[in-house]
A and B are shown apart, each in its own frame.
Chain A
Amino acid sequence: MSSTSGSRRRFAESLRAWQEQNAARLVPGQVDTRTASGLEIAPLYTPADLPLDSALPDGLGDWYRERLGFPGEAPFTRGPQPGMYRERPWVMGMYSGRASPAETNRRIRSLLERGQKGFSVALDLPTQVGLDSDHPLALGEVGRVGVPIDTLRDMQDLLAGIPLDQVRQIRTTANAIGPIALALFVAGAESQGHSAKSFKVMFQNDVLKEYVARGTWIFPPARGLRFSVDVVEYCAQELPNWEPIEFCGYHIRDSGSTAVQEVALALSNGIAYIDEALSRGLSIDQFAHSIFLFLAADLDLFEEVAKFRAARRIWCRLIGEHYGAKHAESCALNIFCYTLGSALTAQEPLNNVARVAYEALAAALGGVQTLATSSYDEALGLPSDEAVRTSLRTQQILAFETGVTRTADPLGGAFYVEYLTDRIEESILAYMKRVEEQGGGLAAIESGWVRREIEEEAYRKQRRIEEGQQAVVGVNRFAESGEARYAAMPAVGADTEAEQLERLARVRAERDAARVVGTLAEVRRAASEGRNTVPSILDAIRAYASVGEITNELASVWGRHQQRI
């Protein structure tokens, strides 16, 4: 009996300590803490709230502290901040479509005027693969899925008049061109009179997953990896509040993987980046806190919730124990979540509103920090304005009408959810071990192993859907004979493309050609000497060298990736 009451006492003490230490962060803020019936809800529920007569069962408190912990404390299963959504709701991502730099600028300014604190800059495909708008392969793709950025001039137009010091977060999809994108933001802000230290940019910058999932690669994988880490190293030293990389599971998932593979492969790639950063003399605490894990939310509600919780626990052990981080914030994983695009159906597209809502619910119950939701008509083409608005409304209804923000980790302690979290964690760790046996994230990509694994799973899933083992309502279950209708796509601005070509030609004619040649030669030297490329690229960008020209210099030293089929 004495050990039982000892366990209870120890638990009560640690709970009290957590409450006292975080009192300021547990204040509800704008969250209505009462249920519809008027019951007051606490910031956190734990085994101490169980209706047990006298004592916690032996070991329950110890189990709780070891496996769950309090929110904001190791192992962070219940979330990275003590107050979770009471402190602040998750950041709601907004769709950002194609446009010219000037149009994008207008849209960003209007978002900021309406109170948005951040915005994202989606780049068009030529920019993402380091091709200038006048490259033959860029024909028809300029400005199609995002904004074309050829030179600093485009960045100046994009950022003109934007109060960067009042912006909480800028996100961008740059991956294969990570350091070039960084230089564009730094130089673009400078020429608007803003110091890069006065705002922050969050880069996707995970090139490894491009070789297996998303396809915007330039250099061979080992070079691409080091190029991405140039951003991590530069930010750790010069721009410590920027977010230099997201370890991406989303695109792997969207290519057909399971939830377990999604997290395991993202983290295995993450280990490759971290090892490279450490080999350059950085310490883990210089950058681990600035990393996000980018995951999908699919429809298997409880598995998804368990996945987010397990990912935080694995991260804490990985960064704290394996890499020996000293700072708690290095071990607290921040998650960026996007509802899974491939879960949407072209048939009966309004059904996707319900799908996205359930996926968003999984993300909120899983405790993510930033959430972006899909639009219900995405499987049919570019989203309509109405669908984009509905997607944002879905998040607002979740955050402000359902009460999910009242208490941290509302499903924590549920027998089913804890069981599933443990099983998912074990499965992720086992799969990470398999990747390690393949030689690690990079080697497993280079050998084609990862690609084959994902492809196998994607095919298996497609077969299961076609054989009716996995239900897709309106497609293989309760399907009505109506065919999906695919509306015509808005004509792509031939104007945008022509205008962009003209702008690029003008920049090339007006810039100081000798300075361009000189700075590009320095980029080549940095690449061949294995130095961090960011400083030399920054000088080239300031001299109005183009994204394509800088990429060509680097490729002349490193070569280009040849896809293995």
Chain B
Amino acid sequence: MSDEEMEFSDDDYDDYYGGEYDGDVDHVDPQKNDPEYFHVACLTDTEVERLLNESVEQLSNSIQVTPSLAKLLLHMYNWNQIEIVAGYRQDCHKMLTSVHIKPATPPQQMTNNQQGESEATCPVCLAPMSPDYASHLTCGHTFCKDCWSMHFEVQIKQGMSTGIECMGNSCQVLAPEDFVVPLLKRPRLKEKYQQYAFSDYVRSHPQLRFCPGPNCNIVIQAKECRAKRVTCTACKSQFCYKCGGDYHAPTDCETIRCWLTKCADDSETANYISAHTKDVNIDSFQAVGPCKTVGEYEEIAYCPKCHICIEKNGGCNHMQCFNCKHDFCWMCLGCWKTHGSEYYECSRYKENPNIAHESAHAQAREALKKYLHYYERWENHSKSLKLEEETLAKIRERIQNKVMAGTGTWIDWQYLLDAAALLARCRYTLQNTYPFAYYLESGPRKDLFEYQQAQLEAEIENLSWKIERAEMTDRGDLENQMDIVEKRRTTLLTDFLQV
């Protein structure tokens, strides 16, 4: 078979098994199928400029104003054309005054030092100015062009662009682009002005966002502002569209902000407490002896059964003692068998039912204990994500070795990389379920959430376990597990993601 034919048949294979994967399912709207679905476009600055210019042109045609004025209006009214047109038709003077394009009081010519002189004096540099070398905005404050350009230069150096005001004392009239640009002498300054103005326009536009990735110039466009995941096509960074921070479903922007602030404030306290107490994890295995050393050796634990020292070198929280083969959970050090069964309890925080009757001190301790429960799990999954990145490197190495040894082809092994990517995605969601659960009020909804969270967690650890030990023969089993995990994640998000 020639190479060409080989490629062709591969495509065929992919089409059949990949593309037609859910062939028996009716084609449904992805929005209904995937709770995380969000349609965005990644635009370059030229594309954004074209988009903005289209709006400017439309507005300037419909209300008959200069493009520069239209741009300023759009900027001040957050690019809401309908509102501008309606307001402008109703009372154009009121609208122009409200956005400081026209002065509130009718303009009056500056008359100082003008008596009897044919030439006026510029009130800033006190030098005489000929009428053709003087200019003013709608407010009538007249200054010589040299002073204007110097004023703009200083303002632009301070990062101002669309907000540059008239030089007159307590005059708030804004200088539009077509007034500023011709007065700028150096091309470098013009460039800077355009650049600052461009970011101002993007920031005021409700459908546009700068990609928060380092040195990334991409602008993300979305029809509505929702807390959904966006992946930049250029720098590949992933973030929440609404708040611009790391993606955080199922937790909402406000809650994750509270949580991160709390963690930043409390993590040192948490470190201190976990470093100075040995019984942070209250569990039946506590009686067995010191379970987990913390502090510097955070990735070391003692096997709850044979007490041998174990280092955690993978992301999976399902641990197996190499010595006695005892299976246990890294988080609670409980026996893994109880995790695998229907009722997984490790992710759930059990509140003391009599807490209302306890002393203030006990209540404070309970509150801290509750916070630490969620924080430790949040932190642990974050560490697991990092460890699983290392696992990915190991997987690549393993695939390399297998292929070189003649066990399967590159194509045969691709599923393992897909599984690792899926694992990362699911664990990331799982990590973000903890702040959500922390702030969720007790009740049936929380019970349901924690049940689903527990289910997801159990399946994720199963998947992680299987990936770390995957041989080629496991493929069917692993793909089955991938499907289960993704279904659990989707179910949780469908039920609880409300953005």
Q: Do A and B come from one complex?
A: no
Query: Hey, which bits of chain B sit against chain A, CB under 8 A?
Result: none
Query: Hey, which bits of chain A sit against chain B, CB under 8 A?
Result: none
